[in-house]
Chain A
Amino acid sequence: MSTIFWEISKRNIRIHMLRSSLAMLGIIIGVVAIGAMGILGNSMTQEISSSLSSVGDSVIVTPYSGGGGFGGGGGGSGSSANLMLTDQNYQQIKRAVAPNVAIPILSTSEHMKVGVGSDDIVATIYGIPTNQEKDLLPDLEAGDYNNENSGCLVGSTFAADHHIQVGSRISIGTDGQYGTLRVTGIIKERGMSFDISTDSALVVTKEWYQNTYNTQNVYNEVVVKVTSGDTATVKTIIENQLNRNIKEKTVSVTDSKATLATIYSTFGTVTTFVTAIGGISMVVAGVSIFNILMMSVNERIKEIGIMRSIGTQKKEVMSMFIYESAIIGVIGSLIGGIICILAGYAVSALMLGTTKYLFTVATMTSVVEGVGFGIIVCLLCGVYPAWLAANLNPIDALRHE
């Protein structure tokens, strides 16, 4: 194609710098919206997957409450206080999943005080058999596992919030009526998990829990650490064993891996949705490109008529306007792409506290998608005005004032 039309397009953009820049700004915003949303969504997904995957493979068994499958998560057993797994259930699970370890867990929410005259705190207390603490909580930040009845472990967040060290004492109950526990160890941060959430909780021995709350032979949940076989199989085994009566199920079984997959796909959907919202701003940008090209065509009807009358082909007139939208589209989209990376850097740093997920394939793909989408939108929005210009009747166009 003749370079003269390229030259004319460039000059036309230059002499209409203000409106060209505004159209470019629209594209920049569109690309940034799509790219930044993509970066944020992907960074969040990666951040969450890194904190979740450390949980490892586990299957969580809770009493069947009639509800849906999800909701196994630890803690909050207050509402389901009357729904408990029996010791018989536990023994069945234990036999069924061998050689994988099954850990019975008790939990409640309790008032407590750290030190004399301090504020009342409410936190979760987990009761776990002493010999299985290590299986469930493999990493301690400080101290040692609890092997005495009045000892306890505390989560790292709880410890930090209440200035607790190994040896600190916590009095349990509204007025300390359940006695005092001594901190023997601090559990390393575990992040989100499906089994129990220890970061802001206390872990006590099963015996202390049962004696204190007088709950014999019942448990809130059973966690199976899957080291042999896969989680889906273990889940099926448990369901086959305990939910023989389809109409009256005994347990709900949550498979950490399947749940993770659901979470990832949910995040994927959210990312897509949010990116689509960015797409709306791209549509707006497209409309403004369309607008300035229509203006450009309208102002130059006479010029188009002259061009056509002295031998310019339709497709050459068309190319002139396509070039114009392409120049705006490519420059705007590339600037948008650069700003995207900078903004993604800032947003990741502020919201996630890390930028390590920025330069990954997934996040960079979203930037490339934003840039590509911007260019495509510009070209598409240029097609109709260009077509219109090319198909003006040369005689009418010539006569136009």
Chain B
Amino acid sequence: MLPVIQFSDVVKIYPLKAGDVTALDHISFEVERGEFISIMGPSGSGKSTLLNLMGCLDTPTTGDIFMSGIGVRDMSDVELTNLRRDRIGFIFQYFNLFPLLNIIENVSFPQMLKSQKSVDPKKAIEVLHSVQLEEGLYTHTPLELSGGQQQRVAIARALINDPDILLCDEPTGNLDSKTGANILELMTELNRKGSTIIVVTHDSNVASYTSRTIRIVDGRIAA
């Protein structure tokens, strides 16, 4: 089976007036289906850049990235956007739910983007059950929920279109340790059920939940 993500000699250079910044320097690695990976490294080492490239928010300067075998290098903005919608689930540190939409609507949002019309909330409810959010909260707005509950909703939103991979940027960075542990347990369970998950973190405790850790230093994979 094709790897979910394949980086092949990827270089990312940010051209700046003061001189080019090489954020990623000849990176190659593969993520297999069903893996639970953490990416660790000091600040400024290139973790966010790596996550943005994996999330198809940006394209490499040189080298190739394949998402389930599809090269993204020459994709248009419309194609990259559709790829993000259909194959990638994003989970952010600050949850980033839409304050104008209720919980069900937040979760259904990517589903509506895909179908281009309003959708049956059945699937959203199903996914919300799988992230263990109490049903009484489904018609509330995000700001009425606790941080842990919001992150559960965010995970449900990321899962709604059955993505190939979940990309998480410090998913527990804004939660207390007990809630953070609950979220990590949820992610472990999702991984057991088959989800491929990548977590960017600087917290080695988070990394201990994952089966593999990729360390980057100065834009390169260390060990």
A306 to B154, CA, bound (A): 11
Which B residues lie within 8 Å of A309 (CB)? 55, 57, 84, 90
Check if B86 sits within 8 Å of A4, measured CB to CB.
no
Query: CB of B171 within 8 A of chain A?
Result: no
Query: Is there contact, CB below 8 Å, between B81 and A4?
Result: no
The B-contacting residues of A in range 305-347, CB under 8 angstroms, are: 306-314, 316
Cα–Cα, bound, A310→B98 (Å): 12
Chain B residues positioned under 8 Å from A313 (CB to CB): 78, 81-82, 113
- Taking a contact as CB atoms under 8 Å apart, the answer to whether B100 and A310 are in contact is no
Q: Is the CB of A303 within 8 A of B98?
A: yes
Report the minimal beta-carbon distance from B109 to chain A, rounded to whole angstroms. Answer: 6
Contacts of A303 in B (CB 8 A): 98-99
Residues of chain B contacted by A314 (CB below 8 angstroms): 77-78, 81
**What's the tally of chain A residues with a CB closer than 8 Å to chain B?**
24
Identify which of B90, B100, B105 contacts A15 (C-beta below 8 A). B100
Min C-beta distance of B29 to chain A, whole Å: 21
Count, chain B residues at interface, CB 8 A: 32
Compute how far the CA of A394 lies from the CA of B77 in the bound complex, rounded to whole angstroms.
11
Q: How far is the CA of A11 from the CA of B141 in the complex (A)?
A: 13
* Given A314-B77, A395-B52, residue A3 in contact with residue B86 (CB < 8 A): no
Contact among A7, A11, A15, A395 for B57, CB-based, below 8 A: A395
Chain B residues numbered 83-128 whose CB sits less than 8 Å from any CB in chain A: 84-86, 88, 90, 92, 96, 98-101, 105, 108-110, 112-114, 116-118
A395→B77 CA distance, assembly (Å): 13
B141 → chain A closest CB, angstroms: 10
Bound Cα distance A12, B99 (Å): 10
A311→B81 contact, CB < 8 A: yes
The answer to whether A311 and B82 have CB atoms under 8 Å apart is yes
- A177 proximal to B (CB < 8 A): no
Q: What 1/0 mask marks residues of chain A from 270 to 314 whose CB sits below 8 Å from any chain B CB?
A: 000000000000000000000000000000001100111111111
Q: Can you pick out 10 interface pairs between chain A and chain B where the beta carbons lie within 8 Å of each other?
A: A2-B113, A2-B117, A11-B101, A12-B100, A309-B84, A310-B85, A310-B90, A312-B81, A314-B77, A395-B52
Taking Cβ atoms with an 8 Å cutoff, the residues of A that contact B are 1-4, 7-8, 11-12, 15, 302-303, 306-314, 316, 394-395, 398
Residues of B near any A CB (own CB < 8 A): 52, 55, 57-58, 77-78, 81-82, 84-86, 88, 90, 92, 96, 98-101, 105, 108-110, 112-114, 116-118, 157-158, 161
The 9 closest A-B pairs by CB, nearest first: A311-B85, A11-B100, A311-B84, A306-B96, A4-B112, A3-B118, A313-B81, A394-B57, A2-B112
